Structure 1
Amino acid sequence: MQGVLRNTLVLRQVAVCCQLSETNQTTVVEFIRLGLTSNHFLEIILFAILFVAFLLILLGNIAVITFTLVDQHLYIPMYFFLRNFSLVEICFTSTFVLRTLYSLLTGAKPISLSGCFLQLSLFFILGICTFFHIALMSFDCYVAIHHPLHYATFMSNRFCLHLVLGCWVVSFFLAFSPLTIILCLPFCRPNIINHFYCDTAPLLQLSCTDTGLIEKVMLVTSVLILPGTLSVTAFSYAYIVYIVTHIQSSASRKKAFSTCSAHLIVVAILYSSSIFRYIGLSQQGRRDFDKVVSFLYCVITQLCSPYIYTLQNEKVKQALKDLVARCCRIYRNRWIVI
Structure 2
Amino acid sequence: MRFCKIAQRELIEEMEKSMMGDARNRTAVQEFTLEGFPSVQPLGKVLFLVHLLAYLASIMGNTLIITITWADHRLQTPMYFFLSSFSFCECCFITTVIPKLLAMYLSRRKSISFAACFTQAFVFLFVGTTIFFLMAVLSLDRYLAICKPLYYPTVMNPRMCFLLVTACLALGFFLMVVPVILLSQSSFCGPHVIPHFFCDFGPLTKLSCSDTRSIEMLAFAMDSFVLLTSLIITIIAYSNIVFTIVCLPSAKERQKAFFTCSSHLIVLSLMYSSCVLIYMKPKQTTSLDSNREAALVNTVVTPLLNPVVYTLRNKQVHQALRDALSRIRLQR
TM (normalized to structure 2)? 0.91
Tell me if structure 1 keeps the 8 A contact 2:205–2:284: no
Distance verdict in 2 for CA 1:114–1:283, change over 3 Å = closer
Instruction: Indicate the residue corresponding to 2:42 in structure 1.
Output: 41
Distance verdict in 2 for CA 1:20–1:278, change over 3 Å = farther
Instruction: Indicate the residue corresponding to 1:129 in structure 2.
Output: 130
Matching residue's letter, 1:54:
Y
Structure 1 residue 25 corresponds to structure 2 residue 26: yes
Distance verdict in 2 for CA 1:160–1:270, change over 3 Å = same
Instruction: Indicate the residue corresponding to 1:334 in structure 2.
Output: none
**Mapping 1:141-156, distance limit 5 Å:** 141-156=142-157
Instruction: Indicate the residue corresponding to 2:163 in structure 1.
Output: 162
Distance across 1 between alignment mates of 2:275 and 2:18: 32
Instruction: Indicate the residue corresponding to 1:86 in structure 2.
Output: 87
More deviation, 291-300/244-253: 244-253
Tell me if structure 1 keeps the 8 A contact 2:206–2:284: no
Distance across 2 between alignment mates of 1:137 and 1:318: 22
Q: CA deviation at 1:46?
A: 1.4
Tell me if structure 2 keeps the 8 A contact 1:37–1:43: no
Structure 1 residues 129-152: Cα deviation after superposition (integer angstroms, max 9, x where no partner): 010110011111111122212211
Instruction: Indicate the residue corresponding to 2:64 in structure 1.
Output: 63
Q: CA deviation at 1:282?
A: 2.0
Instruction: Indicate the residue corresponding to 1:309 in structure 2.
Output: 310
Matching residue's letter, 1:112:
S
**Mapping 1:197-208, distance limit 5 Å:** 197-208=198-209
Distance across 2 between alignment mates of 1:293 and 1:22: 36
Structure 1 residues 105-157: Cα deviation after superposition (integer angstroms, max 9, x where no partner): 22220000011011011001001001011001111111112221221111110
Structure 1 residues 256-284: Cα deviation after superposition (integer angstroms, max 9, x where no partner): 11111000000001001101110115246
Distance verdict in 2 for CA 1:18–1:51, change over 3 Å = farther
Distance across 1 between alignment mates of 2:292 and 2:21: 30
Show structure 1 runs of 5+ residues with no match. Answer: 1-15, 332-338
Q: CA deviation at 1:21?
A: 4.0
Distance verdict in 2 for CA 1:329–1:132, change over 3 Å = same
Q: CA deviation at 1:177?
A: 1.6
Distance across 2 between alignment mates of 1:94 and 1:241: 35
Distance across 2 between alignment mates of 1:72 and 1:118: 37
Where 1:124 maps in the other structure, the secondary structure is: helix
Distance across 1 between alignment mates of 2:155 and 2:219: 35
Instruction: Indicate the residue corresponding to 2:97 in structure 1.
Output: 96
Distance across 2 between alignment mates of 1:170 and 1:237: 23
More deviation, 278-287/149-158: 278-287
**Same amino acid, percent of matched pairs:** 37
**Mapping 1:1-338, distance limit 5 Å:** 21-283=22-284, 286-331=287-332
Tell me if structure 2 keeps the 8 A contact 1:188–1:208: yes
Distance across 1 between alignment mates of 2:215 and 2:146: 41
Distance verdict in 2 for CA 1:285–1:109, change over 3 Å = farther
Where 2:27 maps in the other structure, the secondary structure is: coil
Distance across 2 between alignment mates of 1:88 and 1:52: 19
Where 1:35 maps in the other structure, the secondary structure is: coil
Distance across 1 between alignment mates of 2:188 and 2:107: 27
Distance verdict in 2 for CA 1:281–1:104, change over 3 Å = farther
More deviation, 213-222/173-182: 173-182
**Number of residue pairs aligned between Structure 1 and Structure 2:** 317
Q: CA deviation at 1:293?
A: 0.6
Q: CA deviation at 1:176?
A: 2.1
Distance across 1 between alignment mates of 2:208 and 2:224: 24
Distance across 2 between alignment mates of 1:226 and 1:242: 24
Matching residue's letter, 1:166:
A
Structure 1 residues 205-262: Cα deviation after superposition (integer angstroms, max 9, x where no partner): 1111111101110111011100111000111111111111122222221111111100
Distance across 1 between alignment mates of 2:205 and 2:20: 19
More deviation, 318-327/85-94: 318-327
TM (normalized to structure 1)? 0.90
